[in-house]
Structure formats: structure tokens, C-alpha cells
């Protein structure tokens, strides 16, 4: 009996053993193939980063080398600087540096990109590079050269010692304190960039930070007791709800409060973020579970209109709508007189199970809001602006709008909504000189009020 059993089980166990070995080999082979592919991608991104930083340095030098009156060469050089900076930023994003402090270098590249782009798109014949801008470019030429040199030093170590980026990823994930030439090299680069003196980047770049400065907000700092009272009032959940207040960024310019309000322990929470200065509501989220879709976007829009009016956000107009499964998103902007103020916008979410508001994001509205915004007078009439449109454009509506152009300057425009080439577009024509300020395709058009 045992012989028979052995005769049957031995071949079966042998087949299973061979199968396990084959499976293990294939799994290990596939794992190694994935690791090799990831390593190759990291190596390519790193060597491309070093190359583009060197090219960025060279392009800034080319821009400075030509005659100070050579407008076309300045534009060409600045476009190339912007292109090289964008390439470098893209390659940084492909490297496993999320846990490695490299924000100073990324911010430095972002500012160069902004400066180069916004300078190259302006009319350099009317507004050539100023002496300040030339001095800024000279400093950037020097500093970018140092960054390129430091990265080339890291690159030489990688090549000579055959260093692997997968080891960097592992070291960062494990928070290893041991020596790693790549990590040490990038930390050195970022530390060097952080020690560069502040530059006069010009108003267009400075506006990236200044525009959202909390110091621009009106009002005095509020306490947790103030937020407790404000959150209960806004949530409107009846008497004695459960409230939890958390302070964020204490001691910093961006200090804020998060309030979580629940009607009772079994109900869904409503989370709200408030600025510390003035106690202004920035965001609102109803954490309830969203059911199947039963309400269309038009009905939901009516409920959003009532919600905003009830919560004190008057004169708001919907300008965009998107639907994702059982959720809908609306973008609203404030209307002053007959002009839409696009910088003062809010994004509102709704659950399409009942059309009720489930949340909103109002940071743009908060930081850009003016009780009475100064609006320039239109120099062109609506009909004069309409003549600037593509002859094949089929207009659905027109209205005045205040928007920001690519230089972050506010421009009064005529907004034309309609179709061309089978797609829906919004075209903004300057009310001052009739130029096309911007054009955007609209996936889901919303009826104009």
C-alpha cells in the first residue's frame, strides 16, 4: 500500500516542487525587470536634469551676450530659458526626492521659469528688458552655473562609483542616516540655493507670493472660542452639536483653524477651515456618504444658488459646471454691477443623490475679495469687440468680465461664449484695445444668466 501511495505522491510532489521553483524564478525575474526599469528611468531623469541645468546656464549666457537692443534674440533666449527650466522641473519630479529637502531649488527654478515666460511674451519692442532685469539675469547666470557645476559633481560620482538611485529611494523610505553620495549632493545643492541673496524678480514673479499674503486680510486674530461659535452657526446643525477645533501652523503667517462639527456621535461630520486673521471661512466639507445619482445638474445649480445666498455669498454667478459620476462641481464668481470678477471665484461640490452642497473651496474668493473692486471703463463697445472674433465663431452669449492675463494683471474684457470647429469655447477680448487676452475650451457649457 505504501509503495503504491509513494508511486502516486512522488511524481505529484516532484511536479509541484518544479512548479514552485519555476513560479519563484518567474516572480524574481519579473521583480528584477521592474527594478531595472525603474533604475533606468531614474538614471535617465537625473542625467537629463544635469544636462538641462547646464543648457539653462548657457541659454541665460546667450541672452546676455547679444546686443542690448537685440529684441528678437532676447525673446528667443528667454523662450529657451523657459523651456530648459520646464524640462529641469519635469525631471526633478521624476526623481525619488519627495522626502528629500529640495524645495529651495524647485522654487528657484519656478521663479526663473515665471520670469523668462512672462518677459518673453510681452512686446519687447515697446517694453525692452530694463537695467534691473539685465542685472537679475547676470545673477541668475552666475547662480545657475554653480548649480550646474554641483550637479555635474554628483553626476561624476554616480558614474565613477556606479551608484544606484534605487538605493536612494530605499534610504529615504527607511529614513537612513548613513552616507549616500546622491542624497548628500542634492542636500548640498539645495543648501547652496537657500543661501543665495534675495533678487528683485519683478512684479510678475513677486505676485505669486504677494497675491496670497495673509497680511492682506482684514480683521483681528480670532480665538478657538470664536471659531467654535462661527462653525456652529455656519453648519446649522441645531443646538449643542459636537465640535472639535484644531489649530494649524501655529506661530506662522499661515496659521488657521479646522473645525469639525457633528450633530451627534453617529452623524457625519462637517469640516471647516478658517483663517486665524479675521476668522474667514476658506473651505467647507460635508463628510456624508453620497448615494446614487437622482438629481440633474440644473436642479443642483438651483440648490447651490439658494445655499450661497443663505450663507451670505451674494451676487455670485455660475460660470462652469462638471459632472463626475454621482458628484457635480460648479465654479461661481462674484458679479459687481454688470461685470464678472473672475479672480473672486469659488468651487462648489454637490451630491447628485439629492443635489445638496457637500463642500466648497473659497481660498481664491477670500484672498482676492474687495467689497467694491475698482473696474476700468471699457474703451471699446461690445460690437467693436465682436468684430475681433473668428468669423466662423457662433456666439451664444456675451458679457463683461474682469480676468487676469498671463502677466497677472487684471484686464477688463468682453467674454464671448459659443462654438467653433465643433467645440464650445469662451473667448476674452480686451475692452481696452480689442486684443484676444485668452481663449479656453469648455467641456460642459453652462447657460449664462
Compute the distance between CA of residue 427 and CA of residue 437 in angstroms, rounded to an integer: 8
Most confident of 22-36, 200-214, 350-364: 350-364
Q: What is the pLDDT of residues 253-275, one digit of tens each?
A: 677 889 999 988 788 889 999 98
268 within a domain of the structure (yes/no): yes
Do 266 and 332 belong to one domain? Answer: yes
235 within a domain of the structure (yes/no): yes
446 within a domain of the structure (yes/no): no
pLDDT at position 6: 58
Q: What is the pLDDT of residues 293-346, one digit of tens each?
A: 999 999 999 999 999 999 999 899 999 998 888 999 999 999 999 999 999 999
234 within a domain of the structure (yes/no): yes
Contact 56, 85 (CB under 8 A): yes
Do 95 and 199 belong to one domain? Answer: yes
Do 304 and 410 belong to one domain? Answer: no
219 within a domain of the structure (yes/no): no
Domain boundary among 151, 179, 206: 206
Do 184 and 328 belong to one domain? Answer: no
Do 346 and 235 belong to one domain? Answer: yes
Do 228 and 360 belong to one domain? Answer: yes
335 within a domain of the structure (yes/no): yes
Q: Residue written as cell 524645495?
A: 103
448 within a domain of the structure (yes/no): no
Domain that holds residue 139: 2-206
Do 363 and 388 belong to one domain? Answer: no
Task: Write out the DSSP string of 245-290.
Answer: EEEESTTSTT-EEEEEEESSTTSPPEEEEEESBS--EEEEEE-PPP
Domain boundary among 368, 402, 428: 368
323 alpha-carbon distance from chain centroid: 21
Helices (H), 323-447: 363-368, 382-386
Do 280 and 144 belong to one domain? Answer: no
Query: Could you tell me the pLDDT band of residue 397, with boundaries at 50, 70 and 90?
Result: very high
| DSSP 8-state class, residue 291 | -
Q: What is the mean pLDDT of residues 139-167?
A: 83
Do 343 and 395 belong to one domain? Answer: no
State the chain's maximal CA–CA distance in angstroms: 106
Do 305 and 393 belong to one domain? Answer: no
Structurally, the chain folds into a number of domains equal to 3
Amino acid at each position: 500500500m505504501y509503495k503504491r501511495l509513494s508511486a502516486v505522491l512522488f511524481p505529484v510532489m516532484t511536479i509541484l516542487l518544479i512548479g514552485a521553483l519555476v513560479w519563484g524564478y518567474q516572480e524574481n525575474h519579473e521583480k528584477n525587470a521592474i527594478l531595472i526599469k525603474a533604475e533606468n528611468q531614474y538614471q535617465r531623469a537625473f542625467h537629463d536634469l544635469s544636462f538641462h541645468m547646464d543648457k539653462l546656464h548657457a541659454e541665460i549666457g546667450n541672452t546676455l551676450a547679444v546686443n542690448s537692443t537685440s529684441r528678437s534674440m532676447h525673446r528667443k533666449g528667454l523662450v529657451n530659458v523657459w523651456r530648459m527650466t520646464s524640462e529641469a522641473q519635469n525631471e526633478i519630479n521624476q526623481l525619488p526626492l519627495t522626502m528629500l529637502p529640495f524645495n529651495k531649488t524647485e522654487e528657484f527654478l519656478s521663479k526663473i521659469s515665471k520670469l523668462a515666460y512672462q518677459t518673453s511674451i510681452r512686446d519687447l519692442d515697446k517694453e525692452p528688458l530694463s537695467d534691473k532685469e539685465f542685472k537679475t539675469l547676470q545673477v541668475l547666470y552666475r547662480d545657475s552655473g554653480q548649480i550646474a557645476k554641483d550637479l555635474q559633481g554628483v553626476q561624476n560620482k554616480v558614474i565613477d562609483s556606479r551608484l544606484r538611485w534605487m538605493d536612494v529611494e530605499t534610504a529615504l523610505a527607511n529614513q537612513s542616516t548613513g552616507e549616500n553620495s546622491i542624497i548628500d549632493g542634492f542636500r548640498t545643492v539645495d543648501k547652496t540655493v537657500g543661501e543665495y541673496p534675495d533678487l528683485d524678480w519683478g512684479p510678475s514673479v513677486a505676485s505669486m507670493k504677494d497675491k496670497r499674503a495673509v497680511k492682506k486680510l482684514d480683521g483681528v486674530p480670532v480665538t478657538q472660542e470664536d471659531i467654535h461659535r462661527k462653525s456652529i452657526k455656519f453648519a446649522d446643525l441645531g443646538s449643542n452639536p459636537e465640535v472639535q477645533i484644531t489649530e494649524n501652523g501655529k506661530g506662522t503667517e499661515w496659521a488657521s483653524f479646522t473645525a469639525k462639527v457633528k450633530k451627534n456621535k453617529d452623524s457625519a461630520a462637517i469640516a471647516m477651515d478658517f483663517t486665524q486673521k479675521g476668522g474667514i471661512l476658506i473651505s467647507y466639507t460635508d463628510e456624508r456618504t453620497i448615494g446614487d445619482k437622482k438629481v440633474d445638474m440644473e436642479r443642483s445649480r438651483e440648490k447651490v444658488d439658494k445655499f450661497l445666498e443663505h450663507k451670505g455669498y451674494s451676487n455670485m454667478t455660475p460660470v462652469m459646471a462638471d459632472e463626475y459620476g454621482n458628484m457635480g462641481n460648479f465654479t461661481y464668481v462674484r458679479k459687481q454691477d454688470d461685470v464678472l470678477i473672475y479672480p473672486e471665484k469659488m468651487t462648489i461640490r454637490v451630491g447628485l443623490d439629492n443635489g445638496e452642497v457637500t463642500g466648497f473651496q473659497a481660498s481664491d474668493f477670500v484672498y482676492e475679495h474687495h467689497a467694491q473692486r475698482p473696474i476700468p471703463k471699457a474703451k471699446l463697445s461690445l460690437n467693436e469687440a465682436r468684430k475681433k472674433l473668428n468669423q466662423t465663431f457662433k456666439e451664444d452669449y456675451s458679457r463683461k468680465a474682469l480676468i487676469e492675463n498671463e502677466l497677472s494683471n487684471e484686464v477688463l474684457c468682453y467674454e464671448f461664449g459659443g462654438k467653433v470647429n465643433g467645440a464650445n469655447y469662451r473667448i476674452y477680448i480686451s475692452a481696452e484695445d480689442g486684443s484676444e487676452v485668452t481663449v479656453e475650451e469648455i467641456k460642459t457649457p453652462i447657460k449664462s444668466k
